[in-house]
Amino acid sequence: MTLKVLSVASEAVPLVKTGGLADVVGALPGALAPNGVELTTLLPGYPAVLAALGKKPKVLHKWESLLGEPARLLAGKLSDHPLLVLDAPGLFARDGGPYGDATGRDWRDNWKRFAAFGRAAADVAGGAVKGLTFDLVHAHDWQAAMTLAYLRFAPTGSTPPSVITIHNMAFQGHYGADVFAGLDLPPHAFAIDGVEYHGGVSFLKAGLAAASRVTTVSPTYAREIREPGFGMGLEGLIRGREADVSGIVNGIDPVVWNPAADPALPATYTIKTLARRAANTLALEAEFGLQAGSGPLFVVISRLTWQKGMDVLLEAADHLVGIGGRLALLGSGDAALESGFHAAAARHPGRIAVRIGYDEALSHRMLGGGDSILVPSRFEPCGLTQLYGLAYGCVPVVSRTGGLADTVIDVNLAARLAGVATGVQFDGVRYNTLADAITRTVGLFGQRETWRGLQRAGMKADFAWECSGQAYADLYARLVEAS
């Protein structure tokens, strides 16, 4: 029996991406298909998404007024898998990003945009569209969370079991109480067990309260969000639903992230031909204008934010150079951090180099030529760059939190003797702890056989989607069977 699941999300590769959410949503259909699940993805009709559908996409349904806006449901394909697109020009046909304008400022009507998206998704999941039926609905993050609130408080048909996945608890879709009148929900939905949150409306909280099950993108993060430091105000709700909360680690696409066949690399290589990485390192040094050196070339591919620990890395930059390391950084974010890293590069020409922005091909070259990838996040629900680093023999240095703790094995004595260590972990994102981790890494790099062992163990680790796909399929099957 094939389970039919509706996956509701605000982004998915290859159509639209701002972060790891898109990678996960885009990969899930293919990961689930071998496990008897047909996953249909529903996305907002951003211009790029509509363009991918072609000039005359099939119209499956129309709304004369979807929270006051005319809308259509269009059919398409996400790779080779079913895709639905909500075409609502008044909400999504605009220049800029999925969530904000060209300056990065959030759209003022995001509450309405993603409430309407949730209302439409609830209609689709509930059977309002002729010919479409689903056994379960899976919502991702706050932008899709209202799907579950509408199924709970204002159903227009059946109410299938549901899953909500938290990709990052820090983003919750919190708005003032004044938006409630525009949500087209019954008055009793504005309650502590509904959409109300500290006198306002929280989309994520509404979804967490309504879902049959809650998942996060790593087991450690599922435990961490029960505590105030990680729960971001919703830790009480998570503790109250503790039996319904679990973590499933994200996977990566071994076709896209494969150093043996990566077209972005000057030299491809395998676990048996690691010496070929040297050509990539030389090319990366030339691309960033870095001097050759006997110490490791650290790379960073990250948003430049407090969450990612970039302020502490900036503090530790002089220390990194002082003990023989070099740093190539690719990212963007906080203006003060961007300026700070530019200043560090000016202090250390040929030792630190910075590229502001994002370049997918460059990120591949950095992983294929860098010696070690730094991921000093204060919290990290799963993280993907450390997984890419493992696959490419670019040894991760990570803080012991969330998915970083679940996917990187610290090179302590026991792990080293057993030959299973894959990287360096440290506790607490502070100058001393990060500086010590960098010092450890430089020392390990000087021990060539130990370093090769770390690289090989990381490249042997299997974080492809097969295991995670099976875990999601098992969860879906249990929920459908119990419904």
Banded pLDDT at 459 (limits 50, 70, 90): very high
Flag whether pLDDT at 337 surpasses 90. yes
- 440 & 407 share domain: yes
CATH number reported for the structural domain that contains residue 240 in this entry: 3.40.50.2000
- Asked if the structure places residue 13 within a domain, the reply is yes
- Asked if the structure places residue 450 within a domain, the reply is yes
- Asked if the structure places residue 268 within a domain, the reply is no
Q: Which residues are 332's β-sheet partners? A: 303
The per-residue pLDDT for range 89-117, each reduced to its tens digit, is 999 999 999 999 988 889 999 999 999 99
Residue-level pLDDT at 19: 84
CA distances from 317 to 81, 91, 271, 299 (A): 45, 43, 31, 12
Average pLDDT over residues 122-148: 97
- 239 & 287 share domain: no
Average pLDDT over residues 28-56: 96
Residue-level pLDDT at 245: 97
The domain tally of the chain equals: 2
- Asked if the structure places residue 87 within a domain, the reply is yes
- 231 & 306 share domain: no
- Asked if the structure places residue 214 within a domain, the reply is yes
- Asked if the structure places residue 263 within a domain, the reply is no
Average pLDDT, the chain: 96
- 474 & 449 share domain: no
- 180 & 278 share domain: no
Residue-level pLDDT at 445: 98
- Asked if the structure places residue 311 within a domain, the reply is yes
- Asked if the structure places residue 258 within a domain, the reply is no
Q: What is the dihedral of CA 346, 350, 354, 358, to 10 degrees?
A: 160
- 142 & 7 share domain: yes
Q: Is the peptide bond before 14 cis (omega within 30 degrees of 0)?
A: yes
- 170 & 278 share domain: no
Give me the domain span that covers residue 189: 3-251+466-482
Q: Tabulate helix, strand, coil % of the chain (nearest 5).
A: 45, 20, 35
- 35 & 121 share domain: yes
- 227 & 364 share domain: no
Average pLDDT over residues 416-436: 96
- 236 & 310 share domain: no
Banded pLDDT at 199 (limits 50, 70, 90): very high
Flag whether pLDDT at 329 surpasses 90. yes
- 25 & 46 share domain: yes
**440 phi/psi in degrees, rounded to 5:** -60, -40
- 210 & 347 share domain: no
pLDDT-above-70 percentage for the chain = 100
